[in-house]
A = this chain, B = another copy of it.
Amino acid sequence: MPKYKLTYFDLRGRAETTRLLFTVSGVAFEDERIGQEQWRSIKHKIPGNSLPFLSIDGFLISQSMAINRHLARTFGLDGETLSQKARVDEIVEYLVAMKNKMAELPMMSDDPRTHEKAQEILKSFQELMMKACTFIEAQIQINMKEGNGFAVGNRLTIADIMIFEAFESILATNSKALDKCVGITKCRSKVANMPRIKDYLSKRKFTSF
């Protein structure tokens, strides 16, 4: 087994899906969490100058979604058939679009200009969330006929992991956000109750996002 080291800030942010992929697969990794100062001191040495990055026996991968796709392929969490892999990718794209917009959301402020901009981003985020939820809920409902509650096929994939993770911050702000999405809620619960994930979540350090 190669030696994996994930480097990121002390946040869930763009690294949590990666941590969950390691966790659910039972694969050990070093979870290096660094501060802004340490990051500034090593940034110039990292290809792409961005966090997170993953070292695999010294082979560096940047870009969180390139990291996640690599681990999903390596751990067999990317779907079994070509059609399943396409469906997994499709779900992931809807969630990535939603998450990217969420990351743009500035803190609301009393400055009318900043406030107006925040409102614009918020509106765009809500549209992308609605789009993601509508697509994914329909997909889970179709896939439920196979009776196992995963989003694609009859095994866990990165799509389920991201369905769990992408809504964590949203639900922390509004616990009713997924009330109308029965399939997504069941799928998230299924992921959260997988023994390795359950154990990980029970011990996870709290960070606000």
Give me the interface of A with B, judged by CB distance under 8 Å: 47-50, 59, 61-63, 65-67, 69-70, 73-74, 82-83, 85-87, 89-90, 92-94, 100, 131, 134-135, 138-139
Contact = CB atoms under 8 A, between A and B. Distances in A.
Given A63-B93, A93-B63, A94-B63, A48 B86 contact: no
A206 to B, nearest CB: 29
Given A63-B93, A93-B63, A48 B135 contact: yes
B62 A85 contact: no
Nearest to A139: B47
Contacts of A134: 48-49
A136 to B, nearest CB: 10
Given A47-B138, A48-B131, A65 B89 contact: yes
A90 B63 contact: yes
A49 B139 CA distance: 14
Nearest to A116: B113
Interface centre among A49, A82, A93, A139 (most CB of B within 10 A): A93
23 contacts: A47-B139, A48-B131, A48-B134, A48-B135, A50-B131, A59-B83, A61-B86, A61-B87, A62-B90, A62-B135, A63-B90, A63-B94, A65-B93, A66-B89, A66-B90, A66-B93, A67-B86, A69-B85, A69-B86, A69-B89, A70-B85, A74-B82, A100-B100
A61 B90 contact: yes
Contacts of A73: 82, 85
A70 B89 contact: yes
